Structure 1
Amino acid sequence: MTIINELVVNYLHFLTVERGLSANTVTSYRNDLDQFVKYLKKQNFDKFSEVTRQDITAYLQEETARKKANSSIVRSVTSLRRFFSYLIHEKKITTDPMNLIDTPKQEKHLPEVLSRHEVEQLLETPNVGEPLGLRDRAILELMYATGLRVSEVINLKLADLHLPVGLLKTIGKGQKERIVPIGDTAAYWIDEYLEHGRVKLLKEKRSDFLFLNFHGNQLTRQGIWKNLKIQVQKAGITKNITPHTLRHSFATHILENGADLRIVQELLGHADISTTQIYTHLSKRRLSEIYDKTHPRA
C-alpha cells in the first residue's frame, strides 16, 4: 500500500470510529478521495505534501471538463478540504493546498414534491391482500406520516415502535436519536402489517427489524427504491420520484397546514434550520401555483 493510499484509509477509519459518521457518508468521502488519488497517480505524485493549490485547481478543472455535475464538484471540494485539514492536524503535511480554493456555488434546485392527490394515489397502490403489499403500504404510510429517511426506515426495529402512544424512536444522521409521532393511519397499517404480513415473511426465522424482504431478512435501501419505482408506475405518476420525495412531501404539506418551522426541523432531524428552510420555498411555490390556477386575474 502506498503512503497516499494508507493516509486515505486512516482518514476513513477516523471518520468511522472517531467521528461516528454513517456508512453512506463515509462511502461518499471514499469515492471522492479515490477519484482524487487516481488523478494524483496519473500525474506521478507520491505524497500529499507535494500537492499545491495549482494542482487542486487543475484537478477540479478536469472534473468540470468531464461534465461532472455541479453538486458533485461542490461535494468533492468539501471532501478534499476536510481531508487536507485532517492531514494538517495529524502533521502529515505542513501547508494546506485548499486554503485559497473557493467552493463553487451550489446550484439550488427545489426538490420534487407530490401533490396530496398523488400521495393518495400512491398510498392506495399496494395490494394489501398480500404480505408484501401490506409491507409496502405500511412503509409508504410511515414515510409520508413521519418524514423518515429511507436509511432510518430500514433500520427500524420492533423495539423502536410505541404504537399505543403513536410514537417511534429513530437514529438519524450523526447517530442522533429522536422521537417522532406516527399518526393514526400509519399506526393502523403498521399494525396490520405486523399481524398479517410480517409473520408470513418471517417464516421460521427471527429478526428484530420491522421491515423484511421476501426471504425474511432486513429490507435494504435498494429494495425500497425498487418497490417504490413499481408502485409509482402503477399509480400513473410521471414525476421523478425517490424515497426522499415522500420526506419532501411530508415537510411541505405540514408547513402548508401551518406547522412551525422549528417543529418541522425537529421532526426531520435537521441539525441546522437552514436545511429545513427549503421547504418554505416549496410551500410558497405551491401557494403561487394554486393562486395562478384559481384567481381570475392571475
Structure 2
Amino acid sequence: MIPEIKQLADEYVSHIRLEKNYSSYTVSEYEKDLQDFLLFLQEEQIGQLDDVDYGVARLYVTRLYNRSYARTSISRKISAIRSFFTFISTRYGIEDQAFRLLYHPRKEERLPAFFYQQELEKLFDVTMGEDFRSLRDRALLELLYATGIRVGELVEIEVQDVDHYLGIVKVMGKGRKERFVPFGSFAEDALQDYINSSRPMLMKQKKHSSLFVNLRGDPLTDRGVRYILDDLMEKAALHTTITPHMIRHTFATHLLGAGADLRSVQELLGHSHLSSTQVYTHITNEHLRQTYLQTHPRA
C-alpha cells in the first residue's frame, strides 16, 4: 500500500538527511521546494502522485515563471522534485517520468556580486568592539573572508576542526566531501579572541562542540549567519543587499584579481568543476575593463 503524499514527502526528507547526508541547508531548501509543490497539487485538486504527468509538471513550472522566480531557483526546484519522484519510484514503483522530461531553464548570465576592498573594510570596522557579540561576529566574518567557505559549511565546523598551529580548518563540503582550507593571521587572531573569551561566555552551561554559537549558546544556524551579516551591513551603512555567498564571491574575486591561478581557487572553493570557478574571471576582466574605460585618456 502506497502512503499518503505527505508521508511520502516526510520519508524523502528523512532519506536525504540521514541516508544521503545532504547538508542542513540543502535539506531545508529541498523541503521548502517540496512543500511548495505539494501546495500546488492541493490547489489543483490532485490527490495522487500517479496523476502527475508531463502536463502537470509543465503547468507547475509555468506557475513558477509567472511568480517571477529566478531561473536558478526554478532549476533547483525541478531538481528537488525530480529527486523526490526518483525516490518514490524506487521505493513504491510510482511513475517518475513527468519531471524527467522537463528541461532545466538556461541560467541567466549574471555575474556574482562582490564587495570592493573599501566596502569590506567598513564591514570589518563595525565588528571592532570587545564585547562577546562583536568578538564572535569578527571571527565569523574573518573566517568567511579568509576561506571563502559556504555558510552551510561554516555552521557545521566544530572547535576541534580548527588547527591553529597549521592555520587550516577542516570543512565538510557538498556531497560530504572533506577538504582543508587555510586561513591567515587576521582570522587566527579573531578566532583565538572568540574561542578564548567570547564563546565560553555565550555558551553558558550548554554542552556541544559547534564553533559558532548564537546569543543563547546554541549552535549557529544558516539563518542566524544571515541575520548577523544583515545587521553588520546596516551598521556599516552599506546600501546594498548582502547574501552570505557575497563573501565567498569576494574571496574568489580578490584572489584572482591579485594573480592567483584558477586551479588553486577551485580547490579552495571546493568546486568539482573548473567551469564553476571560471565565472570569477569574468568579474575580474569586467572590473579591469571598467577601470580602463574610466582612466585611459583615449578610452
- Whether 1:169 and 2:178 are equivalent positions in the alignment is no
CA distance in 1, matches of 2:207, 2:152: 21
Counterpart position of 1:230: 231
CA distance in 2, matches of 1:14, 1:147: 29
- Does the CA-based 8 Å contact 2:158-2:211 persist in structure 1? yes
Which deviates more from structure 2 when the two are superposed, residues 48-57 or residues 142-151?
48-57
CA distance in 1, matches of 2:19, 2:220: 28
Counterpart position of 2:258: 257
CA distance in 1, matches of 2:179, 2:240: 31
Structure 2 letter corresponding to 1:291 = Y
CA distance in 1, matches of 2:105, 2:200: 51
CA distance in 2, matches of 1:125, 1:113: 19
What SS is found at the alignment partner of 1:46? coil
- Whether 1:37 and 2:38 are equivalent positions in the alignment is yes
- Does the CA-based 8 Å contact 1:88-1:96 persist in structure 2? no
Counterpart position of 1:291: 292
Q: CA offset at residue 91 of structure 1?
A: 5.4
CA distance in 1, matches of 2:76, 2:234: 32
Q: CA offset at residue 49 of structure 1?
A: 2.1
Counterpart position of 1:211: 212
Counterpart position of 2:49: 48
Deviations 1:57-99 (A, max 9, x none): 1222233233333333222222233333334434523461234
CA distance in 1, matches of 2:75, 2:200: 46
Counterpart position of 2:117: 116
Unaligned runs of 5+ in 1: none
Which deviates more from structure 2 when the two are superposed, residues 222-231 or residues 107-116?
222-231
Note closer, same or farther for the CA distance 1:206–1:19 as it changes in structure 2 (3 Å cut): closer
Q: CA offset at residue 110 of structure 1?
A: 1.5
CA distance in 2, matches of 1:84, 1:8: 10
What SS is found at the alignment partner of 1:170? strand
TM-score, normalised on structure 1?
A: 0.90
Task: Using the aligned pairs only, state the percent identity.
Answer: 37
Counterpart position of 1:139: 140
CA distance in 2, matches of 1:217, 1:9: 26
CA distance in 1, matches of 2:85, 2:255: 41
Note closer, same or farther for the CA distance 1:218–1:26 as it changes in structure 2 (3 Å cut): closer
RMSD (Å), alpha carbons? 2.3
CA distance in 2, matches of 1:100, 1:221: 33
TM-score, normalised on structure 2?
A: 0.90
CA distance in 1, matches of 2:227, 2:46: 42
Q: CA offset at residue 282 of structure 1?
A: 1.4
- Whether 1:182 and 2:183 are equivalent positions in the alignment is yes
Note closer, same or farther for the CA distance 1:80–1:194 as it changes in structure 2 (3 Å cut): closer
- Whether 1:270 and 2:271 are equivalent positions in the alignment is yes
Unaligned runs of 5+ in 2: none
